[in-house]
Structures are given as C-alpha cells and as structure tokens.
Structure 1
C-alpha cells in the first residue's frame, strides 16, 4: 500500500475535520449570540415602532435583548381591571361580597366594586380566621370563605366611612417620622424651592411622603420594562388571563380592547420620553426604577413631565430626579405650572394636587400630612 498516499489522505481528512470543527464552533457561538440577543417577541413590534420614529435600531436591540427586558402583563392588567371595575363592577368582587354578606361581615350592596367597606369586611374576616389582612378579592379568598365559613359576631360594629378617605399608612408614626427627618435634613433645599416657586416646605415634603416615602422607596419595577409592556399589551390577547374569571361579554370585551389601545398609545409616548430622558441624563434605561405605570424619581414624574419640568436644583448642570435638590426644585416647577400661587386657598391647593395625581384620597392625604408637618415645624419638633 502507498504509505505516502495514505499520509496525504490522513492529512486531508484531518484538515476537513478541523475545518468542520471550527465551523461548528463558530456556528455555535453565532447561534448562542443570536439567542442571547433575541428580543422578547412581545417587544419586537415596539422596537420596530421606535425605529420608525427615529430611535437607533442597534441601540434599541442591545437594550431589548437584555435579560431584564421581559414582557409582563401586570401593568395593563392592573389598569384595565381598575377601569373595568369602575364601569361595570368585577364578578370576583361581587362573589366575594355575596359570601361575606351571607356570613354577616359585609352590610353593603353587591355591586362588584372594592370600596372601603368591602376592604374592611375582607380584612375583618381574614383576621377572624387567622390570615394576614390583605384587602383584595381573589379566587383563593373565595375558596377560603367556602372552606372556612366563619360568621361575624352578632354584635359586630360596622365602621362609619363618611369622613374623607386618606392613605392611613402615610399618616402612621413611622412614615410621619421619616417625613419630619427629611424636612429637617433638607431645610436649605426646601427653602430655595419656596423662594423660587412659592410652594411651602410642608406641602413639598407631604407630597414626597405619599409618593416615595421621601425617596426611601422608588419603586420595585423597571420603568422601561413596564412602559414597554403597556405598549405591547395594546393587543388584549396578551393579558386575557387577567379576565378569565370575569368572562366579559362581547360588548365589554370590545370596550376593553378600546381601553387597551388608548392606554398603550399613552404609554408609547411616555416610553419615548423615558428613552430621551435617560439619554439626556446619560443613564442606562434599565437602571431607572419606577412605578407600575412608569413614574420615576423621588417625586414620581411621568417621563414626559420629566422632559418638560425637571430642572437643576444644585447647580451641577444636571436635572436628575433621583437627586434630592433636583427633585425638589423640579417639583416646585411643575406645581407652579399646574397653577400654584402664593396665598392660595385650601380648595385651590387641592385642585393643583389633583392635577398632579387624579385621586381624591391622594389629595386628602397630602393635605393632612402637610398640616401635621406644619404643626411640627411651628413647635420645633423637626430634628435631623
């Protein structure tokens, strides 16, 4: 046998094998890179839409390919559930009210709306059966009511909810203590805002106490993920599971589809604003925490308001809403834009705060907290 020929054959075969191995290695690396850079399918239309509006595709794809960028139905489901309950009432709430009423815990109407009395009844029942109080209607609560039908005491005293509702948790000693300490630590920055925009210190601090515990809690979500998810959830099919118990009729489903589209369009504008704000502040969008609907910073501005009203409060050339001085000055700026004037009446103040957040409970809480902080300042109880 020609050994030279065999050697050449072996060499050629080895070369082919090495080439194939290298191809496999490179192909595997390419496939791994492709898998790592895959955009969540729910976000692919969002990316294409942003590109069409002038955003850099390469930068967007790097952002949306990161592991944190995963679609969540929570924001849209939460918003639509709230709107649906307000308009039609929720079946799961009505079923809960029915069972609580039969056991003597709930004296109100079975209307499917999670009002103060319904929340009180749920918490009272849960406390009676040894569960942690959580005033929400759920299938697990219905199962507990069926499994453990503990009746209310014969002499149960139902509370009077005629007084203005407030967020009680904000007015606890701990939360008010946090607000007093913030006030004392930031007197100089607060004074600058009052001098420039006319907003007294106690109202600024009270608002921040409601929004973020004066900066101690900035949200446990990522703003860009939630806003992107809201945009993606314009397609109601992405959140259908949230309404599985309700089984909405065709006309109500059509209403939900319309609302999902409206909220998605709103969220798209806020998403664009967030990306521009992050770029202007040289921030990684995924480093920006926010509320379930994308509000950001110590004062919880929506991104579109961040672009309009965020101002530099400490002279460093930035308008960073996560910096106390900048956040306070920006808050004064937006409140003045919403109508704040020196010497205005309580009712006029309420209108300004309602413009900031469309919630009567929110406004009541700010006014109550501000009154307490004003008393503390007057009596010298503010200590850092």
Structure 2
C-alpha cells in the first residue's frame, strides 16, 4: 500500500484523534446520477481557478466522468488549511543515540489495553480471520496487529472527509500535488464503482481509509470483498481483514516463516557501525562473521536485515527476515514493523491456544 512513509510520526499520533468506525454502507447507496448536459463544467467554491483543476477534469474524462460531474464534485469539496499545516510539520530532528526513541515508540502501541482490545477484536472476528489465514497464509495475529496500530481496531479511523483531504492536497499543496492528484483520481473511481456518495467516506487527514487505512490507490490494487456481499468496504472488519492479508501476500509474505529474531551481538562497537535498518542486506554468514548471530533459528533465512533499535539503556539488535520487510511495505519504518511484530506476538500470547488454522505453504 502506498501509505505515506514520510507521515509516520504524524500518522501514529493523529490516529488517536480520529473517530469511531462506521461502515460506509450505513447510508443508502449513492448512484453517480447523470448530470444534465446543460450543467456547467465550471468549478465553484474553494477550488475555483485552482492550479491543476482543469487538467484533472480532463483526466477524469478518460474514466468516463463527464466534465460537469467532476466539476460538481470538486465544487463540493472544501479546502482545509489544517490539513496543509499538518503536512508541513516536520518530524523531530534526529539525535545521536541511544536516546530511547524505540522504547517511547513501542510504548504507544504495546500497552495492556491495546493487547486486550486486540484479543477482543480477534474473538469478535474469528471466522473472518480464520478464513483469511487459510486463503492467504497470513497468521491472524499479524492482521489484527496492523489494524490495531493503524486505527486501534477500528476505534479511530479518522474524521476528515476523504474528498476534502485529497482535493486540498491535490490542488492546494504543490509539493505533493502529483501524488495526491492520482489518489483523488483513484478515489473518485472507487466511489463510483462501489456506488458510494463521494462526500460520505471519512478518514485520515492524508486520505487514508477504513480500519486498515488504505490510500485509494491501494484500495484499487489490494482491497478485496472478503465478506462476499459484492462490495469492498474497508470500514467493515471483514473486508479490512481480507484486504490486509491480500496486501501482505501480494508483497511476498512467506507462510509459515518467521518475521524477526533477536540477535546476539559479540561486539557492540562493531555492530554500531554496520549498516542497519529494513533496507540492509546480509547473509547469515556475513552477520556471523561480524559476531552477530540469531538467538533462534531464522528458518529459511535467505537475505537478512540487521535491525538496530534505539532502546532506553542502549541499542537492541534484531535480525529481520523476508516477512519483516513485507510489513515495512505497509509503512516504510523499522520501528513501525517491529511494533506490529511485537504487538502480534503479545496478542497471540494473551489469547493463548491455537487459532485452529493450518497455514498452507502457498495461497
């Protein structure tokens, strides 16, 4: 999913300011009703005369949107200065570690309350999670953990109208206009195909949607109808569960394989100067030659990453496997992926027992 990695810090904090989830199917279905040919294609309102609007209207014609229809939607969107202000905020400057940054980050997600709510979400949605595990080979705890980190299990899906967020960033935020114009394009196609009122769905200030916070382009590529009702509804736990699993497997999830294992470091001085992070690339032999070894078997390891976490009291080292890298495709951050991994393990341990699902080696 094209979740914005540059918004990691803002996203993890602002999700707390969202609103409770509700399916977009609560309201009557919206048909993209034909607008009379005499209707104007001129845009009024906040985006009247804004750069890129005329080109966008022509762009949507390629998808069968009459200019008057696109203009009517843009005319109804509102420019939100608060969104621009949030986008302009800079992440905290990097300091030479260790400063305990990982410990603070982890504490946002691995709380007793979050683990308990994860178990409760799992039990409420056990059938959908079991079905996803069988079909895609992704363990239930990792699907639950993603939804927990993204939206507190659907409790905080965001309260900004998606059309306002995307129009603001497409037509009033030049730095990322190209990206968000594409997302607005995908969004209008999504609402038409799913027969949704384009002014109804709400989500994050950057346009991420539903329990799993997909951007519209990710909805197009990875969302699935896991409930079998003929719609892909990310505000529905069932479809969100299936979509997360599909996203993982489409990015190379290895069923039955580990995600990350703790590393034993013989020389902290040597490990400190080695390239680390989810993009680092080592063989097990290369790591061991530097005095770094896994405390447990990494399984069919292949290429590995060295993960260095800035924990309180000193650096903490892990070895990331292919499935760890897959989690970073959701959000390009080592800390994010490790929080998902550790929350998943904590939820699994708290729930106890087996899910009763045998994961196949292929989809």
Q: Is the 8 A contact 1:116 1:161 kept in 2?
A: no
Q: Distance in 1 between matches of 2:95 and 2:124?
A: 38
Pair 161,43 (structure 1): closer, same or farther in 2 beyond 3 Å: farther
Please state if 1:323 is matched with 2:236. yes
Give how far 1:44 is off.
4.2
1:62 matched residue in structure 2: 72
Q: Is the 8 A contact 1:211 1:299 kept in 2?
A: yes
1:266 matched residue in structure 2: 179
Q: Which moved more, 1:271-280 or 1:163-172?
A: 163-172
Give how far 1:214 is off.
1.1
Please state if 1:213 is matched with 2:152. yes
Pair 331,377 (structure 1): closer, same or farther in 2 beyond 3 Å: same
1:301 matched residue in structure 2: 214
Q: Is the 8 A contact 2:115 2:350 kept in 1?
A: no
Q: Distance in 2 between matches of 1:358 and 1:219?
A: 21
Q: Distance in 2 between matches of 1:182 and 1:43?
A: 46
Larger radius of gyration: 1
1:73 matched residue in structure 2: 81
Can you list the C-alpha shifts for 1:187-211, whole angstroms capped at 9, x where unaligned? 1100000001000010000000001
Please state if 1:52 is matched with 2:58. yes
Q: Distance in 1 between matches of 2:95 and 2:183?
A: 30
Pair 172,47 (structure 1): closer, same or farther in 2 beyond 3 Å: same
Q: Is the 8 A contact 1:43 1:229 kept in 2?
A: no
Please state if 1:191 is matched with 2:197. no
Question: Which of 94, 98, 105 does residue 166 from structure 1 map onto?
Answer: 105
Question: Which of 168, 180, 187 does residue 229 from structure 1 map onto?
Answer: 168
Give how far 1:58 is off.
2.1
Q: Distance in 2 between matches of 1:167 and 1:208?
A: 16
Using structure 1 for the length normalisation, give the TM-score: 0.59
Pair 42,176 (structure 1): closer, same or farther in 2 beyond 3 Å: farther
Q: Distance in 2 between matches of 1:372 and 1:338?
A: 24
Q: Distance in 2 between matches of 1:289 and 1:116?
A: 39
Give how far 1:76 is off.
4.0
Aligned positions, number: 249
Q: Distance in 1 between matches of 2:144 and 2:127?
A: 13
Pair 116,229 (structure 1): closer, same or farther in 2 beyond 3 Å: farther
Which structure features the higher share of helix residues? 1
Task: Show the 5 A alignment for 1:360-371.
Answer: 360-371=334-345
Q: Which moved more, 1:204-213 or 1:314-323?
A: 314-323
Task: Show the 5 A alignment for 1:1-384.
Answer: 38-41=44-47, 44-53=50-59, 54=61, 55-66=65-76, 69-82=77-90, 113=93, 161=100, 166-235=105-174, 260=175, 263-346=176-259, 347=320, 348-378=322-352
For structure 2, the residue ranges without an aligned partner over 5 or more in a row are 1-39, 260-319, 355-363
Pair 49,116 (structure 1): closer, same or farther in 2 beyond 3 Å: farther
Q: Distance in 1 between matches of 2:253 and 2:49?
A: 40
RMSD: 2.7
Give how far 1:115 is off.
6.2
Q: Distance in 2 between matches of 1:52 and 1:273?
A: 15
Give how far 1:337 is off.
0.7
Q: Distance in 2 between matches of 1:170 and 1:43?
A: 43
Q: Is the 8 A contact 1:43 1:232 kept in 2?
A: no
Q: Is the 8 A contact 2:161 2:202 kept in 1?
A: yes
